[in-house]
A and B are shown apart, each in its own frame.
Chain A
Amino acid sequence: MKVDHIELKLPAKPEYILVVRLTTSAIATRAGFGVDEIEDIKVAVAEAGNAIINQGMEMECLNFMYEIEGNTGLRIHITVSCPQDKPFSQPDVVQNELSLYIIESLMDEVSTQVSDGRLLGVTMYKKFGG
């Protein structure tokens, strides 16, 4: 299966989530999704960024890897780079649960990567015509 890869690396700061939304919309459009699906994907990817940033830990950057999988769907991996030796404050658990609930409602598949209570990554998938 032909897969097109696109990568985006941004400072893990709230002011860059706007860039994530715009880029995700453009990629979902390029992939061939409809208007409603593009909105779902945009919201879900931005919420993943929110959930990671909201943890109050010292982070360097957010990485977004998009994989347009032929004519089947779009897979997106969101990961964070952070210094492992830095402590982190208490995450906003309620806010993060809301983010993850929204993501699971909008996407067809969602998985999270958690280590020592830290959310370090989210992978999500939207199939065409799903």
Chain B
Amino acid sequence: MEGVKGMDIQYRFQESENTWMVRLIGEVDIYNAPQLKDSLLNLLNERQGNIILDCRELKYIDSTGLGVLISALKKAKEFNGSIKITNLKPYIYKIFSITGLDKIFTIEVQGA
């Protein structure tokens, strides 16, 4: 389910919470980050809601992936939306922590 680029996303819009429920699967890196950026920005253009990003199947994300999440957050904030990151593995949370992004995003870590 990770697609030819090592990453896949699944999504549905939850009307009652005005929120995109997005599952991020696989590894996000410099190769597939542009694809993720297009997908998230297209969702926010389609419906101006919040995003809950379920990362239970995310195995890796690099700085270009973090840049994509920042871009999506900026877009969401244009209409007072938010992005919440859930089920993040502790070793991936470390990257958010050392870059200070744990203070910008609401994050729930697996097993915490």
Contact = CB atoms under 8 A, between A and B. Distances in A.
Interface in B8-32: 27, 29-31
A15 B62 CA distance: 14
A105 B98 contact: yes
Contact of A50 (B30, B98, B99): B30
Interface in A1-47: 14-15, 17-18, 21, 36, 39, 43, 46-47
B30 A14 contact: yes
* 4 closest A-B pairs by CB: A14-B31, A105-B98, A14-B30, A98-B63
State which size class the interface on B falls in: 10 to 19
A26 B29 CA distance: 19
B31 A47 contact: no
Interface of A: 14-15, 17-18, 21, 36, 39, 43, 46-47, 49-50, 53-54, 95, 98-99, 101-102, 105-106
Contact of A106 (B30, B62, B64, B98): B98
B31 A15 contact: yes
Contacts of B30: 14, 17, 49-50, 53-54
Contacts of B98: 101-102, 105-106
Contact of A14 (B29, B66, B94, B99): B29
Given A47-B62, A95-B63, A39 B29 contact: no
A21 B61 CA distance: 12
A45 B91 CA distance: 16
A46 B64 contact: no
B95 interface: yes
A8 B60 CA distance: 22
Contact of A95 (B27, B29, B64, B94): B64
Contact of B99 (A15, A36, A46, A98): A98
